[in-house]
Structures are given as C-alpha cells and as structure tokens.
Structure 1
Amino acid sequence: MTGSVTTQAGALPRGILIFIHSLHGGGAERVAVDLAAQWAEAGVAVTLVTQADVASDVYALHPAVARVSLGTAGESGGGLRGLLANVRRVRALRAQIVRVQPDIVLGMMTTASVLAVLAARGLPAKVIATEHTHPPSQSLSGLWLRLRRWTYPRAAQVVALTRDTATWIETHVPGSRLAVIPNPVQWPLRRQSPELAPPGAQAGHILLGVGRLHPDKGFDVLLKAFAQLAPEHPEWRLVLLGEGTERARLTAQAEALGLGGRVDLPGRAGNVGDWYARADLYVLSSRVEGLSNTLLEAMASGLAPVAFDCETGPREIVRDGEDGLLVRPVEDPQALAAALGGLMRDPARREALATRAVAVRERFSTASVLARWKAVFDDALAGR
C-alpha cells in the first residue's frame, strides 16, 4: 500500500500500522486509540496491532480502524525463553506488516518500538519509534537497553513527548532522528463505559486525582499531604479516580492516617469529564510522568492544577503561578500540602488559575498535534 491521502492539511500516508502492547488502559494506549481515530477519519487506512488479546481492550476503536491481536502477550521470561518469545513476536508482527503493507509503522512505547524496527527490517515501511515515559524512570533489562541503542538510530524518526526526554535520547542513544510531539488534549472529553456518577453537592469540595493506582503516581504521598490538611478543611474530600495494583495498599494507608471517611477510590470512570466538572481542585502527585493526559484534561475542563515538578511533563504544561502551581521537591508531602492548602483556602485564586488553565485547549489542540505528526510523516517518507 503506497501513496498518500490528500486532506485539507496536505498529504497523509495511505496506510499506518500502530503497534502497542495492549489496550488495557493507560495514557499511551488512549493516545494510540485517539490518533488512530483522527487518521482514520482523514481517510488513512489504519491498523492497530497489539500483543494482548482483543477481549482485554478497555478503549473502543473507531469503526474504520482494523484491529489485530498477535496473541503473544503471555510469552515472557528471561534467558533463552525470553529471547525465543521476542523472536516469535518479531515474526508475527513482520507477517502483519507484509500483509497490510503500510507506509508507516508506529511503535507506541519503548519495547513496541524496538520490536517494530526489528520486524520491518528490509521492508518498505518506515518505522517511527516513540517514548512515552522519561527513560531514566523506566525499568528495562540490559538487553532492551542495548536493543534500543541499536534500533532507534535505524528508525526513520524517534518521537518524544517532551523536550527533556528528547535531550536524554540525543545524549544516550546517539544517531536518533528526533522530534518532540506532545499528546493532544481531547476536547470535549469523550464518554465511554463504565460510567460512574460523581458525588453530589452534599459531599462538599472535591480534591481530585486521576490515574492508575500505581507507585509512579505518588498517591501515597498525596494521602500524607491530605492527612495534614484534613483537620483544617473538614469540608474537603479527596477522590482518587482510577484502578490498579495499589488499591489495597492505598485503602489501608488512608485508614491508618484516619482518613477512612474522607477519601474515595471509586475505580476507573469512562465519564471522567463529569468528575472534572464536579471537582474544585486537581492534583497530580506523580513521581515520574511522560506528558500527563489527565493534567491536560483537568485544565481543559477548567480546573486549577497543583502538580509535582517531576523531571518531565508537568513543567511543559503548567505555567507556574499563571495557570497552576508546580511543587518542589518531588515526593515531599509537606510541600504538596502547603501548595494545596493555599488554594483550598483561596477560592478567588483557584478561579483565576482555572480561568487561564483552559488555554491548554489551544496550546495542545488536536489540530496542532496532528500537524506535527504530518511533518514527521513527511520527513520519514522523504527519507530525511
């Protein structure tokens, strides 16, 4: 499949194959689904390929996007077993590339990008690798680190979410052809299952955090910070919207801190926009981030944000003191409590920050992000 699709914005590739481990849930997975939908609506033949089974999908695909599962997600392990499993993955992906004949193969996240480069060797398709997490925060084996150093310079382009990540790759993976493309903010936010009703007005003010219940998200630090604030602010509740492996640990921590009646963990909601609309203040307590989709969504929804100034991500979204607050040092509950407490006590300042926060709708608009992707496609297909 060669050639291009002409749109008002110019020529797009005729075919794109997106490869990602799964659609179980998460920021990169949702971005993959959203990009696939945008390109499909523009007339591109889009195929989304995962290792995981289709039955495990959390996100619904655009009806024009073809969906393929390699069925290789469960094959893992170290040593020879792991090597053979990855050889099978490469062969299975290569078979799909040969079948579909896309112009572009887009690897979503590190291991998928590495496998995509290996699978497309010698084929006409151009591979674009992507990094959705700042590399120093990743836990990759020595083999995957060596494979990244070997494959990324052989990709047509390597796309980073942030300037800091691009700088790291430039230093540690020399020879990579780099571009920086942030995630777009989807506005208005889409609704999907499951839908959970946010608490009513009788619940008082809501401090909202959204994300996987995972150590990277720093919800344990947030609970410590809220424990300092709760006695002074009895009208406020903390809601952690999401699901993950840390649910039991966080629930136990909230009880131990005496917050059992003040903290809610309702699960994952497909109608997250309703929760942003109900909340009074947004908090991002992450230890590490790529580029936070939830932070963009909260600001686009008109919420003032408070975020740890972790190594990458929030500082490229929040303009400190203008449309939100950046907190230093990271993982410091006292510093986070001080920033949150100041805004909890000052509704006028919350409103002023929130009014300016909605500018992310333009700063990170889908149109501007898609234009950057088109430039990357142009360079890749031109062989630059």
Structure 2
Amino acid sequence: MKIRYMLLHAYGMGGTIRTVVNQANAMAALGHEVEIVSVVRRRDEPQFRLDPAVTLRTLVDQRAGVRTDSLGRRVWRRLRGKIVPFGEYAAAYFTERVEKAAIAYVASVEDGVLVTTRPALNLISARRANPGVVRVAQEHMNLGSYPETLRAEIARYYGAFDAVAVLTDSDRRDYEAALPGTRIIRIPNAVHSVNQTPSRQEHPVIVAAGRLVKQKGFDLLLPAFAQVAREHPEWRLRIFGTGPKKAQLRALIGEHGLSAHVTLMGRTNRLDDELARSSVYVLSSRFEGLPMVMIEAMTHALPIVAFDCPTGPRDVLTDGEDGLLVPAEDVAALAAALDRLVADRDLRLRMGSAAAATARAYAPENVMPLWDDLFTELLHTRTAPRLAG
C-alpha cells in the first residue's frame, strides 16, 4: 500500500508534525510504502526521528529565507489565492508559489492513499486531487476554533473526501453536523510510547509546554501560578516552547514578580526527561484539538490541571480521578486547582497513577491498527467494483 502524508512543514516541532511522523513510522514498520511530503522546508534536519524506510520530500525549500514586501511583511500572495483562505491559521505560508507547488503535487498523485493534515492542504486535496486516489483529511483542531470563512469552505468542499479523521467524540459530532453524508471517523493521536519513567513526586516543579501563542493561554497561567507561588514559594513553573509571545510573557513574569519562580525554557528534545522530573502538568489553552503533550505527561504518571476548553481535555480526563478540570479561562479556579495538588503529595501520586492508566488508550499499538484498517478498507472499497467488472 502506498501512503503519502502531506505536512506544511515536516521539519518543525509542532504536535501535529510529531503525531504524523509517528504515524508514518508505524505504517512503514507494517511494510507499507510511505512518503512524507513537506510543503515547505526551513530547517536542515527534521526535528523528529524518521524511520529510514520513510521517504521525505520537499516541495518548496525556503532555507534561504522568506520573501518579504517593501515594508518587511511576509508576502502571502500578490493576488488573492485560488484555494487557501485568509482564515486558515497558516495562510501566511501559502504564497502563490507555495500554493501552486502543493496543487501540482496533489494533482500528480495517481494511486494509493493521500493524507492531508490541515485545512489548507485538505482544501487543496479536496479540490485538485485525482478522484482515483483515496483521500483522507486529518483534522487536528476542533471545528469551532476556526473562523466562519474557513468553516464555510470546509462545509463546501470536504464532501470530496473518502474519510475525514478527527481526534475526539466532540469533534466527530461537530463535523458530522457540518458535513452530512461524509464519513467522519474518530482516531485519536498516539503518544510515541506509554512505557515512560514515572514521576516520583520529589521535585516541586510544574510543567507546561506549547507554542508561545495566545491559544496556549500562558498569559492566563502566569497570574494563576503567581497565587500558588505566594503560598508555596519553593515551587517552580517551567514553560517549554518558542513563539511570538515570548517578550510579552517575559514582561508578565516581571510584572507578577515571578522571575525567580518561572522559566521560559525554549525548545527541548528532552521533554520526556523534564516531565519525569516534574510533579504536575498544567494545560491553560483557550482551545485545543487533542492536547498530545498533556497525554504524554500522563504517561509519566503526572496529574493534570487543565482548563475545560474546547476540545480535548474533557475527552481525555475524568475530573477528580486523573486530573482536575476547571472552567475555561478562569484564572482563580486554575490557581485553586494547582494549589490543591501542590499541597497534597498523596493526591498527586494517586491521580498520577490513574493518569498513566488513562494514557494507555493512546499507545501506538492501540491506535496505529485503526489507521491500517481504515486505509485497507478504503482502498478495497475503491478497487472492488473494478475487480467485479
């Protein structure tokens, strides 16, 4: 079976990239012919390990820099593009050249399974892919987080797919309502391993991780942690990730007097080690798809404190058993939940043990066969009429 995965930037560090690379590696290990297509390339080497059997192809190499206009702004396209709408969060990547390269590649594929992994690429596949190819759209974000302009494009074009794969039951219900008659299937992302070193609950460290962007809500986490630090000054907060909000977050750290308590750790290739040496994981996002770093933290027997944001945390956690869910964007409630865990090691151990058990549902050996079965079924359905004739 030929399986092609299209990623915007396979050389990056995002959660979608990690999960798609894991999936590609698993499909290659099952003996399939697997290719990852990186629409753009801005780094020399991939950040996640690729199985040697997986082919990596780049459509537009941008390592020499991104073209800008006379005001220093990134050029999106000189004329409005044909497919990718402005409402897509990665629209700025899709210069005229990039969009044309993606369209040309999609149109050139003649067999096997083509998996696209974000709305921009899904829309290109829906509108330009060869109808003889099995097309699967992966959605890694909840439908309600998209602007209305993008939701309208999804409703208009996603019916062309053989299947649309979403991450949670909440997502499945939303996409079924928006796309009547289209096959919507829930397959969660898999963690890279559930056999991780458990936290011993010996270090007064809370961990958060993600891009330093508004979505991740670190501007809400800092004032919440400030309340915790006043009562428990020995505790520290470490935030892993990079992004455009770094300067704003540094300013907030200073404003709340947290310079000795909070560290912006930047990017790391050793997050598993950091999680094993911490005692609580906190998710402060305004919205999510399926928060994979949170689930990876659970594999280390870490209890979770999370905003009950759309979607993901409630689909994974049972409040009071493996973590604490608090109302979305409620800073005082987030502070109170953190304080509850910080003050009670026995509770952290009990919830951490339950979290590790919950995370086993996301083990590769449980998730990857679902993809293999789906692709096999779709290819059989596509070719069966020809064989019968």
TM-score, normalising length: structure 2: 0.85
How does 1:252-331 map onto structure 2 within 5 Å? 252-328=251-327, 330-331=328-329
Partner of 1:108: 117
Identical positions, percent: 34
Cα distance, 1:97 vs. partner? 5.1
Contact 1:207 1:283 in 2 (8 A): yes
Structure 2 letter corresponding to 1:258: G
Distance 1:86 1:147, change over 3 A: farther
Partner of 1:173: 179
Q: Residue 182 of structure 1: which of 171, 177, 188 is its match? A: 188
List per-residue Cα deviations over 1:300-354 (Å, max 9, x = no partner).
01111111111210111111111111112x1111000111101111111111001
How does 1:64-75 map onto structure 2 within 5 Å? 64-71=53-60
Partner of 2:47: 58
TM-score, normalising length: structure 1: 0.86
1:152 & 1:299 partners in 2: Cα distance? 34
List per-residue Cα deviations over 1:209-247 (Å, max 9, x = no partner).
111111111111110101111111011011101111111
Question: SS in structure 2 opposite 1:383?
Answer: helix
Contact 2:211 2:242 in 1 (8 A): yes
How does 1:29-48 map onto structure 2 within 5 Å? 29-48=17-36
1:69 & 1:154 partners in 2: Cα distance? 25
2:100 & 2:256 partners in 1: Cα distance? 51
Distance 1:226 1:261, change over 3 A: same
Distance 1:88 1:115, change over 3 A: farther
Partner of 1:19: 6
Cα distance, 1:78 vs. partner? 6.1
2:373 & 2:362 partners in 1: Cα distance? 16
Partner of 2:376: 378
Distance 1:98 1:119, change over 3 A: closer
Q: Residue 332 of structure 2: which of 316, 320, 334 is its match? A: 334
Q: Residue 138 of structure 1: which of 146, 158, 163 is its match? A: 146
Gaps of at least 5 residues in structure 2 are 68-74, 84-93, 197-201, 383-389
2:54 & 2:128 partners in 1: Cα distance? 21
Cα distance, 1:280 vs. partner? 1.0
1:28 and 2:16 are equivalent in the alignment: yes
Question: SS in structure 1 opposite 2:248?
Answer: helix
Cα distance, 1:131 vs. partner? 0.9
Distance 1:146 1:343, change over 3 A: closer
Cα distance, 1:139 vs. partner? 4.0
- Bigger Cα displacement from structure 2, 209-218 vs 365-374: 365-374
List per-residue Cα deviations over 1:144-176 (Å, max 9, x = no partner).
444322321110000011111121111223332
1:187 & 1:371 partners in 2: Cα distance? 15
Contact 2:289 2:312 in 1 (8 A): yes
Count of residues in correspondence between the two structures: 355
Gaps of at least 5 residues in structure 1 are 1-13, 191-200
Partner of 2:361: 363
Cα distance, 1:35 vs. partner? 0.6
1:128 & 1:269 partners in 2: Cα distance? 32
- Bigger Cα displacement from structure 2, 171-180 vs 124-133: 171-180
1:235 and 2:234 are equivalent in the alignment: yes
Structure 2 letter corresponding to 1:368: N
